[in-house]
């Protein structure tokens, strides 16, 4: 079976410093995969290399078997991969609905056209309504995104990420800064919106990781030191060493 996402010996230098030092990842279609590791390990950089924000210095990145390394983000997005950011990426002065519709239109390529076809606008509206419901923010349809609570903004961020219909979803710390009950709620939301899709998620909160992931990869200083099931990762000696001083089953804020 062709991997949904495959990285082979991916490297990235910033100046003379090699930050990503030969990463291999193989993520099956429909898998929920968590990328964990200490601060500064290179998790967000890995996402930047996959989503096209940065080009790898070497190595290959394949989406459904097609090389995407070095392509611009919008092309990778049109090929079915969408990512969220560690810091929220919403338009604060647009309404919740408008944020979602923007995302749908963008994924259809509307940035480049001025004369919109009406039926496509209607499709975009319907899709935005659908996502609004999926993320549970129907009651916030016309609220300016900047006025949402933090947890609602993160839910909207997830909605924006999935609105275009991408099959491979990358989420960077979707529950960062949330209370226990907010992140429990976010886990349910992530589960719901990624049914039948492939998910790769950077996450520090181990209860979120162990609650969602089919498999986990551990990144330390730009290298994947282990990829395995949650149970095997929990018992992995190298992983335990990398997390010295913390416990992998600690509920929150394990970094």
As a whole number of angstroms, the distance between CA 137 and CA 159 comes to 10
DSSP β-bridge partners for residue 14: 17
Residue 198 binds which entry of ligand ATP, Mg ion, none, CB below 5-8 Å type-dependent: none
Site residues (CB under 6 A) for ligand ATP, limited to 12-41: 14, 19, 37, 39-41
Q: With binding defined as CB under 6 A, does residue 45 bind ligand ATP?
A: yes
Residue 45 binds which entry of ligand ATP, Mg ion, none, CB below 5-8 Å type-dependent: ligand ATP
Q: With binding defined as CB under 6 A, does residue 135 bind ligand ATP?
A: no
Token pair for residue 180? 């226990």
Q: Residues, the chain, total? A: 255
User: Taking the complex as a whole, how short is the minimal distance between the CB of residue 67 and ligand ATP, in angstroms?
Assistant: 22
Q: What number of chain residues touch ligand ATP (CB under 6 A)?
A: 11
Query: Taking a C-beta distance cutoff of 8 angstroms, is the pair 191, 171 a contact?
Result: no
DSSP β-bridge partners for residue 216: 34, 228
- Contact letters (x/-) for Mg ion, 79-118, by CB under 5 A? -------x--------------------------------
Q: DSSP letter at 127?
A: H
User: Taking the complex as a whole, how short is the minimal distance between the CB of residue 70 and ligand ATP, in angstroms?
Assistant: 16
Whole-number Cα distances in Å, 16 to 12, 24, 57, 70, 123: 10, 22, 12, 20, 48
Looking only at the bridges linking them, the beta strands covering 168-172 and 198-202 are parallel
User: Taking the complex as a whole, how short is the minimal distance between the CB of residue 40 and Mg ion, in angstroms?
Assistant: 8
Strands (E) across the chain are located at: 5-14, 17-27, 32-36, 58-63, 66-67, 81-83, 168-172, 198-202, 215-220, 223-228
Q: With binding defined as CB under 5 A, does residue 57 bind Mg ion?
A: no
Which residue bears the tokens 């492939």? 198
Q: Which is nearer to ligand ATP, 29 or 73 (CB)?
A: 73
- Look at residues 98, 87, 195, 189 and name the one whose alpha carbon lies nearest to residue 135: 189
Binding segment toward Mg ion, per CB under 5 A, in 3-11, 13-21, 39-47, 88-96: 39-47
Of 22, 28, 44, 53, the one binding Mg ion by CB under 5 A: 44
Q: Which is nearer to Mg ion, 58 or 86 (CB)?
A: 86
Burial 85-101 (b: 16+ CB within 10 A, else e): beebbbeeeebbbbbbb
User: Taking the complex as a whole, how short is the minimal distance between the CB of residue 88 and ligand ATP, in angstroms?
Assistant: 14
Residue 150 binds which entry of ligand ATP, Mg ion, none, CB below 5-8 Å type-dependent: none
- Contact letters (x/-) for ligand ATP, 70-109, by CB under 6 A? ----------------x-----------------------
List residues binding Mg ion (CB under 5 A): 43-44, 86
List residues binding ligand ATP (CB under 6 A): 14, 19, 37, 39-45, 86
């Amino acid at each position: 079976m062709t991997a949904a996402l495959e990285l082979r010996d991916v490297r990235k230098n910033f100046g003379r410093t090699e930050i990503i030092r030969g990463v291999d990842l193989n993520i099956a279609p429909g898998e929920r995969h968590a990328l964990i590791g200490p601060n500064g390990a290179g998790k967000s950089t890995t996402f930047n290399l996959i989503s096209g924000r940065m080009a790898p210095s070497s190595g290959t990145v394949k989406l459904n078997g097609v090389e995407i390394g070095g392509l611009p983000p919008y092309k990778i997005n049109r090929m079915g991969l969408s990512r969220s950011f560690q810091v929220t990426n919403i338009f604060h002065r647009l309404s919740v609905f408008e944020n979602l519709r923007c995302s749908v239109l963008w994924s259809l390529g509307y940035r480049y056209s001025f004369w919109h076809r009406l039926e496509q606008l209607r499709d975009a509206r319907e899709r935005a309504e659908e996502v609004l419901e999926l993320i549970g923010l129907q009651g916030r349809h016309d609220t300016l995104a900047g006025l949402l609570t933090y947890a609602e903004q993160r839910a909207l961020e997830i909605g924006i990420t999935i609105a275009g219909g991408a099959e491979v979803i990358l989420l960077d710390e979707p529950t960062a800064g949330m209370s226990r009950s907010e992140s429990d709620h976010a886990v349910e939301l992530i589960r719901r919106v990624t049914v039948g899709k492939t998910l790769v998620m950077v996450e520090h909160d181990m209860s979120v990781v162990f609650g969602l992931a089919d498999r986990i990869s551990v990144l330390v200083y730009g290298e994947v030191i282990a990829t395995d099931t949650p149970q095997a990762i929990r018992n992995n000696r190298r992983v335990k060493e990398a997390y010295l001083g913390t416990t992998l089953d600690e509920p929150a804020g394990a970094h």
